[in-house]
Amino acid sequence: MPSPAPARRAALPFILLTVLLDVMGIGLIIPVFPGLVSDLAGDPTQGARLLGVFTAVYALMQFVFAPILGALSDRYGRRPVLLLSLLGLGLDYLLLSFAPNLWWLFLGRVLAGVTGASITVANAYLADVTAPEHRARSFGLLGATFGVGFILGPALGGVLGDVDARLPFLAAAVLALLNAAYGFFILPESLPPERRGTPERIRFNPLAPLTVLGRYPLVRNLAAAFVLIGMAQQTIFSTWVLFTTRVLGWTATQNGLALALVGLLSAVVQAGLVGTAVRVLGERGAILTGLGLGVMQYLLLGAARTDGLLYASIVLGSLAGIAGPAIQGLISRRVDPTEQGRVQGALTSVQSLVGIAGPLVATSVFAAFTRPGNPYHEPGAAFYLAALLSLAGTVVAGVVLRRAGRQS
């Protein structure tokens, strides 16, 4: 049962603002963090290697702490966990603002991974305060907020970074701490005591929380699809700029404008089309349609040798975004209210593991197929691999949803 109306009124804007600031923080870092690592390393090659290490450390911390934060929020409530996470996020950005050496950056990435896991609690909070029949739309708004964050973050980070490479981190720290202060005075608790878990059910082994998926066969089986689809998505995150620079000769400005378009279209689709897609196609139809469009996006990306084809792939990828909120809405209705945080934490952990492995696979494939002297030169190979992975994930999701439909 959702929490009372006052909580619902205050909660949705706060959660959306929290996610916006989290995503903006990531976006602020994108244009300046690699340069900061390289400067402190004193060598671009070593800086690139360390950047990969920092990325893996961030994902690893998310894997370890997302289920812990989710479990703590199930036991002690969402509000205290969210506020502590926001304070930690602000401290992380302050560390990065004044980092004198690589060890400070490393510590900052560890702290960022821990506090960045607050998105798990935000998802559970959203499920608490939203009626089951409205959750797909609410998760769509959450997805739209991600899109807006990825419009504003890189743009603002680029502008501030031209003034001073440390300024974007300081701006992100101010935003995070202001958000924590706002939450302290305004945010209501969404999980009443009678709906909370018991202390003995909390586990601090990062692998143990994954066992919660065993109690929900639908969620467990969909997690297999998440792995395949997540590996495909990591290909875009990891090799987009490499591909557009190598194949299309794009500049940083062109990449920035294209990424802003991605964020804008994602916001429009997830805020305006998710609810309509679920009503017209049904939840299962919206999920499979979105996943199918994702497969087409990767195929088009791999074949893109003109700007027009690449922009067409952006449109397809944005439309594919209807799948995520529909899946979240479906899962949230199949999970016990006292375990929303655990389940969201387990799924975030799965995504974090993919975030460690995915970039390594994608960049290795890109490097292998663009290596000088390779007779099988194909810069789109990583995207073709992504299409295969995404297709496999779509098939798995289709089988799982069909079985779930027969059992319901």
pLDDT in tens, 142-167: 877 877 888 888 778 777 877 787 88
Same domain, 147 and 248: no
Residues 16 and 83 in one domain: yes
pLDDT of the residue at 312: 95
One domain, residues 162 and 71: yes
**Statement to judge: residues 17 and 119 lie in one domain:** yes
What CATH number did the domain enclosing 371 receive? Answer: 1.20.1250.20
Distance CA 262, CA 324 (A): 16
Same domain, 137 and 215: no
Residues 166 and 219 placed together within one structural domain of the fold: no
- Domain assignment of residue 392, yes or no: yes
341 and 372 assigned to the same domain: yes
| Domain shared by 124 and 214, yes or no | no
**Helix 323-333 and helix 217-243: axis angle, to 10°?**
160
> For the segment 169-182, what is each residue's pLDDT rounded down to a tens digit?
898 888 888 888 88
Predicted confidence at residue 384, as pLDDT, reads 97
33 in the same domain as 134: yes
**What is the Cα–Cα distance from 33 to 70, expressed in whole angstroms?**
29
Which residue bears the tokens 């976006």? 27
Q: Which of 138, 158, 192 is the last residue of a domain?
A: 192
- Written in H, E and C, the secondary structure of 327-374 is HHHHHHHCCCHHHHHHHHHHHHHHHHHHHHHHHHHHHHHHHHHHCCCC
In single-letter form, the type of residue at position 3 comes to S
- Summarize pLDDT for 198-251 with one digit per residue, the tens: 554 555 566 666 777 778 888 888 888 888 998 998 888 777 877 887 789 877
Mean pLDDT score of the chain: 80
Q: Is 50 domain-assigned?
A: yes
Residue 42 lies in a domain: yes
Same domain, 184 and 214: no
3-state SS, 176-210, equals: HHHHHHHHHHHCCCCCCHHHCCCHHHCCCCCCHHH
Per-residue pLDDT for 305 more than 90? yes
Q: How many CA atoms lie within 13 A of 262 on its CB side?
A: 22
Name the DSSP letter for residue 306: S
CA-closest candidate to residue 58, choices 353, 364, 358, 361? 353
Q: Is 0.75 surpassed by the pTM of this model? A: no
The set of residues, in sequence order, having a beta carbon less than 8 Å from that of 192 and lying 6+ positions away, is 3
Residue 97 to residue 94: CA distance in whole angstroms: 5
What is the pLDDT at residue 1? 44
The answer to whether 94 touches 366, Cβ cutoff 8 Å, is no
* pLDDT at residue number 52: 67
Note the pLDDT tens digit of each residue in 27-83: 777 767 766 776 887 764 466 567 667 777 887 887 777 777 777 777 787 888 888
Alpha carbon distances (Å) from 1 to 8, 140, 188: 12, 20, 16
Do the beta carbons of residue 3 and residue 190 sit within 8 Å? yes
**Alpha helices (H) along 30-134:** 33-41, 44-76, 78-98, 102-116, 118-129
Distance CA 83, CA 403 (A): 40
pLDDT at 49: 62
**Lookup result for tokens 């209501």:** 188
Q: Is residue 201 part of a domain?
A: no
CB-CB contact of 150 with 25 (8 Å): no
* 3-state secondary structure at position 362: helix
Residue 227 in tokens? 């792995």
Range(s) of the domain holding residue 280: 209-408
If asked whether residues 303 and 353 sit together in one domain, one would say yes
In 185-322, DSSP assigns E strands to none
The last residue of one of the domains, among 166, 192, 218, is 192
Q: What is the pLDDT of residue 109?
A: 85
The total number of structural domains in the chain stands at 2
Q: How confident is the model at residue 112 (pLDDT cuts 50, 70, 90)?
A: confident
Does residue 2 surpass a pLDDT of 50?
A: no
Domain C-terminal end among 192, 222, 257? 192
88 Cβ partners below 8 Å, 6+ apart? 111, 114, 115
Q: Is residue 200 part of a domain?
A: no
Query: Looking at the structure, do residues 110 and 213 belong to the same domain, yes or no?
Result: no
pLDDT over 70 percentage in the chain: 88
Q: Is residue 214 part of a domain?
A: yes
Confidence at residue 289, expressed as pLDDT on a 0 to 100 scale: 92
User: What would the two tokens of residue 188 be?
Assistant: 């209501």
Residue 199 lies in a domain: no
Q: Where is average pLDDT lowest: 87-96, 104-113, 337-346?
A: 337-346
Q: How many CA atoms lie within 13 A of 195 on its CB side?
A: 22
Tokens of 355: 């975030």
pLDDT of residue 361: 82
Q: What is the mean pLDDT of residues 380-390?
A: 94
